Amino acid sequence: MKILIKNVCIITMDSSHTGYNYGCIAVDGDVIVYIGEEEDMPRDFDAGKVIDGKGMLALPGFINAHTHSAMSIFRGYANDIPLMEWLSSRIWPMEDRLTPEDAYWLSMLSIAEMIMGGVTAFADMYMFMDQTAKAVDRSGIRAVLARGLQGPDPKSEQRLKENRCLWEEWNGHDGRIKVMVGPHAIYTCSRDYLESCMELARELGTGIHIHIAETRDEVEECRRKYGKTPVEYLEEIGLFKYHSLAAHCVHLTREDMDILSDNNVHVVHCPVSNLKLGSGVAQTAELLDKGVNVALGTDSASSNNNLSIMKEMNIAALLSKGINEDPTLLPARQVLKMATGNGAKALGWDEEIGSLEVGKKADIILLRQDGPHYHPAADPITHLVYSGHSSDVDTVIVNGNILMEGRQLTTIDLQEVYHKVGGIRTRLMGRIEIEQ
CATH number, domain containing residue 136: 3.20.20.140
Q: Are residues 163 and 181 in the same domain?
A: yes
Q: Are residues 269 and 396 in the same domain?
A: no
> Domain total for the chain?
2
Segments forming the whole domain that contains residue 383:
2-61+355-405
Q: Beta-strand (E) ranges in 128-251?
A: 142-149, 177-183, 208-212, 244-248
Burial of 432 (0-12, 13-18, 19+ CB in 10 A): exposed
pLDDT value at residue 169: 98
pLDDT value at residue 374: 95
Q: Are residues 102 and 166 in the same domain?
A: yes
Residue 211 to residue 422: CA distance in whole angstroms: 30
Q: Are residues 296 and 241 in the same domain?
A: yes
| Final residue in a domain of this structure, among 346, 377, 394 | 346
Region 328-341: mean pLDDT is 98
Q: Are residues 172 and 236 in the same domain?
A: yes
Q: Looking at the domain assignment, is residue 397 inside a domain?
A: yes
Q: Are residues 146 and 169 in the same domain?
A: yes
pLDDT above 70 (res 367): yes
Q: Are residues 72 and 153 in the same domain?
A: yes
Residues with Cβ < 8 Å from 146, sequence gap 6 or more? 123, 124, 125, 129, 163, 166, 179, 180, 181, 182, 208, 209
Q: Looking at the domain assignment, is residue 434 inside a domain?
A: no
Q: Are residues 308 and 367 in the same domain?
A: no
Q: Looking at the domain assignment, is residue 67 inside a domain?
A: yes
Q: Looking at the domain assignment, is residue 422 inside a domain?
A: no
pLDDT above 80 (res 436): no
pLDDT value at residue 434: 44
pLDDT above 70 (res 198): yes
CATH number, domain containing residue 24: 2.30.40.10
pLDDT value at residue 309: 98
Region 286-310: mean pLDDT is 96
SS3 of residue 49 by DSSP: strand
Question: What pLDDT digit, counting tens, does each position of 70-124 carry?
Answer: 999 889 887 777 777 767 777 777 788 899 999 999 999 999 999 999 999 999 9
pLDDT value at residue 385: 98
Residue 373 to residue 384: CA distance in whole angstroms: 9
Q: Looking at the domain assignment, is residue 281 inside a domain?
A: yes
Q: Are residues 76 and 97 in the same domain?
A: yes
Q: Between 433 and 47, where is the model more confident?
A: 47
pLDDT above 50 (res 234): yes
Q: Looking at the domain assignment, is residue 56 inside a domain?
A: yes
pLDDT value at residue 91: 77
Q: What is the mean pLDDT of the chain?
A: 95
What DSSP state is assigned to residue 93? H
Q: Are residues 90 and 30 in the same domain?
A: no
pLDDT value at residue 78: 72
| Final residue in a domain of this structure, among 323, 346, 369 | 346
| Final residue in a domain of this structure, among 346, 379, 414 | 346
Q: Looking at the domain assignment, is residue 302 inside a domain?
A: yes
Burial of 161 (0-12, 13-18, 19+ CB in 10 A): exposed
SS3 of residue 147 by DSSP: strand
pLDDT value at residue 296: 98
pTM of the predicted model as reported, rounded to 2 decimal places: 0.96
Q: Looking at the domain assignment, is residue 417 inside a domain?
A: no
pLDDT value at residue 430: 75
Residue 154 to residue 299: CA distance in whole angstroms: 27
Indicate the pLDDT class of residue 435, thresholds 50, 70 and 90.
Answer: very low
Question: What pLDDT digit, counting tens, does each position of 111-168 carry?
Answer: 999 999 999 999 999 999 999 999 999 999 999 999 999 999 999 999 999 999 999 9
Percent of the chain with pLDDT over 90: 89
Q: Are residues 55 and 66 in the same domain?
A: no
Residue 195 to residue 191: CA distance in whole angstroms: 6
- HEC string of 361-390 equals ECCEEEEECCCHHHCCCCCHHHHHHHHCCH
Q: Are residues 172 and 266 in the same domain?
A: yes
